[in-house]
Homo-oligomer: A and B are copies of this chain.
Amino acid sequence: MRIVAALGGNALLRRGEPLTAENQRQNVRVACEQLARIIPGNELVIAHGNGPQVGLLALQGAAYSQVEPYPLDVLGAQTEGMIGYMIEQELGNLLPFETPFATILTQVEVDASDPAFQHPSKPIGPVYSRQEADRLAAEKGWHMAPDGDRFRRVVPSPQPKRIFEIRPVKWLLEKGSVVICAGGGGIPTVYDAGRKLHGIEAVIDKDLCSALLAEQLDSDLLIIATDVEAVYVDWGQPTQRAIARAHPDDLQALSFAAGSMGPKVQAACDFTRQTGKTAVIGSLADIEGIVAGRAGTRVSLSEPGIDYRQ
């Protein structure tokens, strides 16, 4: 089976945890212990988020005054290198030495007229108090938005249109390589009037990009791995119920949090509608159960309606 697994930022960094190299590596190691279990007999592509990391690099750049801070596309490229490295190394340590690995830098085309550029919505970097958030907004011109009872920087998150490196990814899969790509949703790029490609200040949603990736790779399964075991209705209320299986039309008739479960549901439904294949939203901690068909929220066209877990 060809599988695309998208690892959420929360799967790589627990909320509120300092973004040290060591913390990241420990979380990557835990994720890789799960991923290693589904590799035998399957082709695996690993995509991942970069929200906390790209935000940190922006802060580090801003803290060093001798060189002006790098734009988000360049920082996104840096995070693809950094996170890809940690995943490749940790996963490599769990698999037979002969297993080939490749981490592929990924550029993604977006539309410069995407309405997202007028409405920054993607949270990146650490959480701040209101006072800190106000100061950063004034000093750096950043857009800040509430995140629980605190605040985070938000940036535009346009729709992914095209993954430039799709052929190399496919070729490497055909050779039996584990491929890590589309990190942070891919580096956002646009064509200018002269048909030259250049980067743009944005962060693409990694789940939407993973859905496009899975579709273009003719993937049999898209896994959106996060830190909860399923999509819930009435999340956080006494009536909450975990969804075991849903048709995309019925799932999207419900409403989910814009910044977190919303894009995951959108991505899963997009993939299923485009391909007729199954997408699963579930916990990285039970990725074996997801592949075996017994865990997570399965989105498929097989029948209408929603089934809940008992």
A contacts, CB < 8 Å to B: 18-21, 56-57, 59-68, 70-71, 73-74, 77-82, 84-86, 88-89, 92-93, 100-105, 107, 126, 164-165, 167-168, 171-172, 175, 177, 180, 187, 189, 196-199
A-B complex: 8 closest residue pairs judged by Cβ atoms: A81-B81, A77-B85, A103-B105, A63-B64, A102-B168, A63-B63, A78-B78, A60-B60
Instruction: Taking A64-B64, A81-B105 as given, write out 10 further A-B residue pairs in contact, using a Cβ cutoff of 8 Å, ordered by the A residue number.
Output: A18-B66, A56-B64, A56-B67, A77-B82, A78-B82, A81-B81, A88-B105, A89-B199, A103-B105, A104-B104
The contact of A74 among B68, B82, B101, B175, by CB within 8 Å, is B82
The contact of A102 among B63, B92, B165, by CB within 8 Å, is B165
Instruction: Give the copy number.
Output: 2
Residues in B whose Cβ lies below 8 Å from that of A101: 164-165, 168
The contact of A84 among B60, B81, B172, by CB within 8 Å, is B81
By the criterion CB–CB under 8 Å, are A175 and B164 in contact?
Answer: no
By the criterion CB–CB under 8 Å, are A168 and B164 in contact?
Answer: no
Chain B: minimal CB distance from A30 (Å): 15
Residues in B whose Cβ lies below 8 Å from that of A18: 66-67
Bound Cα distance from A100 to B167, whole angstroms? 7
Bound Cα distance from A280 to B66, whole angstroms? 36
Bound Cα distance from A85 to B64, whole angstroms? 22
Bound Cα distance from A21 to B68, whole angstroms? 8
Bound Cα distance from A56 to B63, whole angstroms? 12
